Amino acid sequence: MAAEWIRLYRTERTRKRVTKGVLFTIALIATIAYIFPLFWMVSTSIKDPADIMRDPPLILPRDVNLEIYKEMFGSPPEGTQIPVDGLRYMKNSLIIGAGTMVLTMLFAVPAAYGLARFRLRGSNIFMMLLLVTQMLPEVLLVIPMFIFFRELHFTNNYSSVIIADAALTLPFCILILRTGFLQVPRDLEEAALIDGTTRFGALRRVIVPMVRPNLIAVTLFAFLVGWGDFVFSLSFLQDQELHPLALGVYNFIGYYRIRWEGVMAFSTIIAIPVVIIILALQRYFVTGLTTGSVK
């Protein structure tokens, strides 16, 4: 009998090891599949232009070539008539990203708090509309927004892109913040009100600190949407001086050829802040997105 139990135990342990090994292998393959395009992007940006189209392709560059980055940040090669001002593109992306973040949070926090704390007539319909808007692709909003901004003479400035991006991020941020507010006990808020603070004071001093992961998650989301915006910037900004990084790639797309090292260099610069922010604040980001999911 004891020998049978030992055999079953060993069999079960072996099966668990095999299962873990298979799951680890699948996770490793999926990770490589996601990371390889980023690696190829960075590798292409530092290759010599003659090596980019080699057959078979070079996985790693033979020599590190940083000339394209020098060209992007103020040192164009001789004979270049229009230098690429990478710092200006970065400034524009930063303005659009920060503006989208501020505008989104300005409306998302009170809206999510109202939906979580008050019984409002039609709130269920409003929540359903928020969910429906998440299924609409971005390109469907471009034409009506362009007509709206054009009638108001509001195109060709940062504000039009910021408002459009905020309209895109606001429903998602409200949904995430609402789940966080629902996790905060009402007793804490009522105790603060009894102590003499206002409802706004209770929101600022008691509730907001308790939903910090949610706030960080939606703040990062709103900023990154504005930082990497392409469709709205392409549609609303005619002045090249206002173009963000995502539109800077057009400097390297010509009629007869595409300078892939420049396209990949711009893409790398766009991706670097995203990767740094996610790695530095991933704990808050994951917690904020999953808070309230079980409920």
- 181 and 108 Cβ atoms separated by less than 8 Å: no
- Is the whole model's pTM more than 0.75, yes or no? yes
The pLDDT assigned to 255 comes to 64
Place of tokens 């996985």: 59
Cis, peptide link before residue 171, omega less than 30° from 0: no
The pLDDT assigned to 41 comes to 87
The pLDDT assigned to 56 comes to 79
Structure tokens at 189: 């808020």
The pLDDT assigned to 34 comes to 84
Q: What residue ranges of the chain have pLDDT lower than 70?
A: 1-13, 74-84, 254-256, 282-295
Q: How far apart are CA 119 and CA 168, in angstroms?
A: 26
Q: How far apart are CA 89 and CA 80, in angstroms?
A: 18
Residues 12-55: tens digit of each pLDDT: 667 777 777 788 889 889 888 888 888 888 888 888 887 788 77
Which CATH fold would you assign to the domain 86-290? MetI-like fold (1.10.3720)
The pLDDT assigned to 96 comes to 93
